[in-house]
Amino acid sequence: MELPATPGLIRDAWLVNDRWPDTRTFASMAAGIFKLFDAETEEQKAIAVHDWVSLSMRCSTPIREGPAGAGGANTEPGRMFHVHGHHSCDGLARVLVNIWQATGRPARKIVMRHLTHTVAELWYVDQDGVGRWHAFDAEWNWYVYDRSGTYIAGFAQIAADPTLMTAPAKTSQPFFIYDQQRERNLADMHWLTHGWLASITPQCTYYPHIHLAPGQQWEVFYSPQGPGCPTCGDGSDQGTWDRRDNYHEDGSVRRPKIWPWRGQYLQQAADPKGGGSIAAMPHGTARLTWDVPLDPAVLTGVIGGQVIGRVSYDPATGELRPGQSRELAQVIIPIRLPYFITRMRIQADIRRTGERTNHAALHTSLDGENWQGLGADDYTAAPTDPAAAPGPVHVDIPLAAAAANRWTPAGAYQMYLRIDLASTEDIDAVGVKGLRLIIDTGTNLFAHCHLQPGPNRLHLAGTVGQGPASVDVTLDWQEADQATSASRSGLHAGDTWLIDTHVKDPARIRMQRLVYRYSPLDGSS
C-alpha cells in the first residue's frame, strides 16, 4: 500500500530566521552558513562549512534505521543531518561534502585507510589563482596549511609531508588529532597517512517535510525529551551524545569559533573513558501529537485515508460507528513522518455494548499489508484488549518493545493505523472517538530555527493546500537565563514575524521548544 503523496493541508511548514541557516536544502543551508560566519572568500566559505558541521553534528555511533531485524546503517547525508544530528567520521564527511557540492563546487571524501578515518576534501580556487583540493576534518575539527602557510593543504600534500600535521606552519587550532603523536617517529606518520583513497559521496535525497493535517501539532525540543534512537538506548546513552571533549586539559574551550552557539546546550554525561562526567552535546527530539478527526470526509479527502465498507459518523460527539449491522467496516489512516519513530502512544475511547460479537479494535502496520493487533495489555499492564473490554484505551509502545521481540514502529518513517468496527444488530452499540496519537521522533537541534542577538526577522515557509488553514507557531527560549516565549496565530506561507532579543552574546540565548500547530480559520479541528 502506498502512502498519499502529499498528506495534510499545510505542506513543508518551516520557520526560517534570516540570521540562521535555512536548513531545508543543503544549498539554502550553505548560503546561510556563509552569512552566519561572515564568509566572503573561497577559503573563508570552506572554513565556514567545516565550522558549521563541527557545530551542528556530533560524532557518534552510526544510526541503524528500519524495523527490528531489517535495519541497516544510514548512509544518506540529509537524514544524517536532519534526523540524527550525528554519525561517524565518514558521515560527517558526507554532510560536509554535500553542503559544498550544493554550491556547485567539487568535493569528495578521503579515506585514511591505515588510520580507519575519513575526512573531506573541498576544491576551490585559492587567492593565488590556483584551484586545489583542501582537506577538512569535521570530527576532530582541524585543517592545516601548506608549509608556507599560504593555503589549506590537500591530503596528497599531507601524505607527502606528514610534518604538516605534527609540526604545522599554521592550523585551525592548537590541538588536533595528531597532537599526542608528535613524539612518534616520522616513519610512523608516513605509514599512517599512506594509502589514502578518494571516493565519491552519494548525493542528498532527503529533505524534511513537516506536513500539518487537521488536529496535528509538531513540537521540536532542543534537548532530549523522551527516548533517543532505536539503536542508542533510552536517550541518555553515549551513542546519542557527542563523545568528544569540549575543553582542553587546562579548561579552555577547544572550539572557540563555534562556542557561542554550542556551549549553552552542553549537558553533563558519563565519561565514556570512566572516572566522572564530561560536558557533552545531547540530541534533539520532536513529537507529533495528533487528535485524529474521525469524520470520513476529512479522513479520505484531506488526510488520504481509506474507508473499506460503510461507516457512520456523529459530528456532535465525534464518534465513528459501523454504517451497517453484520458488516465489517475498516478505516485505514496513513501516517508519514519527516523523522524516524522512537516511541508511539495511542489513546482512544472504545464503546461496545450488547452482543459479545460487537467489535471495535485497533491495528497497526508498517506496510499496509501485514497488520498487528494493538491489545493494550501487549505493551502496558492495563487496561485490557479493547476488543474484549470497552472504555479508555492507552497503548504505549516504547523502544523496549523491540528488545522484547514485540511489534514496534521504532526506526520507521511511516506506518498505518486501522480501526475495525462491526456490530451484530445495533450499529449504535459500537463506536470509537477521542483518538489521539503521540509519536516521538529524533531530530537535530541545530537544524531548526535559532534566535540571535538583536532583531530576528522570521517568516513561515511552506505551501497551504486546499481549505482556509493556517499555522499557529510558538517559540520558547531562555534569554540571559530567563524563560521567554512568543506566539503567533493564523500564519500563512510567507507571513513574517519580528522577534527582538535583548542580549548581545548568542551564548546567552538557549532555544527550548518550537511548536507548529494546525489552525483552521473557523477554529474547528
Beta-sheet strands, E only, within 311-447: 311-314, 319-322, 329-336, 341-352, 359-365, 372-373, 391-397, 414-422, 430-443
Mean pLDDT value of segment 230-254 = 62
Q: Which stretch, 159-168, 271-280, 282-291, has highest mean pLDDT?
A: 282-291
Q: How far apart are CA 216 and CA 292, in angstroms?
A: 8
8-state DSSP, 77: H
Residue 116, pLDDT > 60, answer yes
pLDDT digits (tens, 9 = 90+) for 288-320: 999 999 999 999 988 999 999 999 999 999 999
- Kindly indicate the confidence band of residue 84, based on its pLDDT and cuts at 50, 70 and 90: confident
C-alpha cell at 427: 450499529
Distance set, CA 16 to CA 55, 136, 473 (Å): 19, 28, 12
| Cβ(474)–Cβ(463) below 8 Å | no
Q: Which helix (H) or strand (E) holds 109?
A: strand 107-112
Mean pLDDT value of segment 111-129 = 89
Please choose, from the candidates 335, 467, 486, 343, the residue with its C-alpha nearest in 3D space to the C-alpha of residue 15: 486
Per-chain mean pLDDT for the chain? 84
8-state DSSP, 449: -
pLDDT digits (tens, 9 = 90+) for 339-376: 988 889 999 998 888 777 788 888 999 988 989 887 64
pTM summary value: 0.90
CA angle 283, 285, 288 (to 5 degrees): 170
Mean pLDDT value of segment 7-12 = 76
Mean pLDDT value of segment 10-33 = 95
Q: How far apart are CA 315 and CA 248, in angstroms?
A: 63
Establish whether the linkage from the previous residue to 383 is cis, with ω within 30° of 0: yes
